[in-house]
Amino acid sequence: MSDNILVGVRIRPLIPREVNEASAVHWKIGDGESILQIDPSSRRSLCSPYKFDRVFGMDCNNEDIYCSIAEGIIESALAGFNATIFAYGQTSSGKTYTMMGDKQEPGIIPLAIRNIFQSIENNPDREYLIRVSYMEIYNETITDLLASRDQKGKGLAVREDISGNVYVADLKEECINSEEMLLAIMKKGNKNRHVAASNMNDRSSRSHAIFRLILESRERSEGDDSDVAVTVSHLNLVDLAGSENASQTGATGDRLKEGGFINKSLFMLGRVISQLSEGEQFVNFRDSKLTRILQLSLGGNAKTAVVCTVTPVGIEQTHSTLRFASRAKAVKNKPVVNEVLSDAALLKRYAMEIKTLQNSLAKERSTDKAQEVDKVREMLDEKERKNQELLQKISELKENLVVSSLPRESARNIGI
Ligand SMILES: Nc1ncnc2c1ncn2[C@@H]1O[C@H](COP(=O)(O)OP(=O)(O)OP(=O)(O)O)[C@@H](O)[C@H]1O
């Protein structure tokens, strides 16, 4: 099975700054799948249309983008496929608005979180273990957005395990068991992200942010389930920093330096996409942290979607984004469901640990306590304390599992 990267293009409405400057609109949407440059006064076409899987006009909202581009990818991640959605575009084109949104209009990330917990609720026959990490690449340094200030060191290293999987060493992963908990973690990470004002955007992201969920799931069962396969998938939701032109953003000093890093890593991403779209044998994944971390999502074992955001007033930069989007459309991935039978899956290890603890508890309880009372009363107290600890540990492990509140299908069939 081979899947092309799904590509959507979104043109945002004019923002107040552009309205005040009486900026002209240079782009027109064709039929929901194409976009072309027009002359603002005559509205005559100035180029042949760029075609994509979907093109979203100024009146589309985040929910529209989510339903057409993201929902299928999120469902695939829940079914065990690695998946990635990223937003790409020039500064101020609406990437953060699309990925994160705001209170009135939640973006792809909060909508995905809601979708994931609704799907779990609708699927009572499986149990899930969900972990989250949140990192940013700022000036080519990886920072953990979930680490407290005193835990932040010099930056995290990208490593490769013996199977060739790329990972970020020492990145914090938190187990989460509710939508509210995950949203709170997302907000905490957002607060830690590098943001600054520029002439183009009052809150310009100065880093690439990768919000990653690791989803493990397996059939729920009562009996001996040690050989039940666990599916494990990585879902990356990525808000890239925007390409920028110093003469437009007015960047100087630190901002100029950041812009240099941003443009360079986006150039590397563009080159990787180009190489993949042309089927080249050698691909420069290792030339930037961003392409290294996203390696699997670009031409690998993953379902990937990209939302390319453009402004209605940009001309050269919009063409440049659309060329990137056209190349991305030609990239093929090879997604497969990742099933794990070994104890590499945390869910498997949890299940085994729960079972071992339950066995020890049963053993402890079967000891003839009456005899022991005669002998050493303190020993009994000690055993009781140990039992409580085991029970506590079992319930803590179980708390991390996310399951539907509905009865399992099998239980419903026999009327439980
Ligand atoms: N679809 C939209 N509808 C209304 N306003 C939007 C839309 N998209 C973006 N905006 C507004 O445009 C401005 C820039 O958006 P945003 O910060 O998301 O851009 P960005 O691409 O993430 O920029 P940067 O690369 O500088 O971080 C913000 O004020 C945002 O509220």
Q: What is the pLDDT of residues 192-207, one digit of tens each?
A: 988 877 778 788 888 9
Residue 361 has pLDDT above 90, yes or no: no
401 — pLDDT class (breaks 50, 70, 90): confident
- The pLDDT value given to residue 57: 95
Phi and psi at residue 150, to the nearest 5°: -75, -15
- The pLDDT value given to residue 374: 58
Q: Could you tell me the distance, in angstroms and rounded to a whole number, from the CA of residue 95 to the centre of ligand 1?
A: 6
**ipTM tops 0.85:** yes
Average pLDDT over residues 169-173: 93
Q: Could you tell me the distance, in angstroms and rounded to a whole number, from the CA of residue 321 to the centre of ligand 1?
A: 15
Percentage with pLDDT > 90 across the chain: 53
Q: Is 91 annotated as a binding residue?
A: yes
- Helix axis angle, 316-329 to 253-277, nearest 10°: 40
Cα diameter, the chain? 101
Hey, how many other C-beta atoms are within 10 angstroms of the C-beta on 139?
A: 16
Residue 416 has pLDDT above 50, yes or no: no
CA atoms of 333 and 236, how far apart (whole Å): 15
- The pLDDT value given to residue 375: 63
Half-sphere CA count of 17, side-chain side, radius 13 A = 10
Average pLDDT over residues 353-359: 76
> Minimum mean pLDDT among 52-61, 83-92, 156-165: which range?
156-165
Nearest atom in ligand 1 to the alpha carbon of residue 198 is 26
Residue nearest to atom 13 of ligand 1 (CA): 92
Residue 69 has pLDDT above 90, yes or no: yes
C-alpha to C-alpha distances, 167 to 87, 142, 172, 290, 347, nearest whole angstrom: 21, 12, 12, 12, 19
Burial of 390 (0-12, 13-18, 19+ CB in 10 A): middle
CA atoms of 218 and 236, how far apart (whole Å): 21
Residue 369 has pLDDT above 60, yes or no: no
Hey, how many other C-beta atoms are within 10 angstroms of the C-beta on 199?
A: 15
CA atoms of 330 and 52, how far apart (whole Å): 11
95 — pLDDT class (breaks 50, 70, 90): very high
Higher pLDDT, 108 or 280: 108
Tell whether the torsion through CA atoms of 215, 218, 219 and 225 is positive or negative: negative
Q: List, for residues 265-274, the tens digit of each pLDDT value.
A: 888 898 999 8
Mean pLDDT of the chain: 86
- The pLDDT value given to residue 180: 96
- The pLDDT value given to residue 245: 76
Residue 4 has pLDDT above 90, yes or no: no
Q: Could you tell me the distance, in angstroms and rounded to a whole number, from the CA of residue 237 to the centre of ligand 1?
A: 17
> Minimum mean pLDDT among 23-32, 115-124, 240-249, 288-297: which range?
240-249
- Of 99, 102, 201, 318, which is best to mutate to test ligand 1, by the most ligand atoms within 8 angstroms of its C-beta? 201
Tell me if 317 CB under 6 Å of ligand 1. no
Average pLDDT over residues 360-368: 70
- The pLDDT value given to residue 370: 55
> What amino acid is encoded at 184 in this protein?
A
CA atoms of 120 and 114, how far apart (whole Å): 10
> Minimum mean pLDDT among 121-125, 131-135, 276-280, 353-357: which range?
353-357
- The pLDDT value given to residue 344: 61
- Helix axis angle, 346-366 to 377-399, nearest 10°: 160
The winner for highest mean pLDDT among 7-16, 227-236, 390-399 is 7-16
Q: Are 3 and 303 in contact (CB under 8 A)?
A: yes
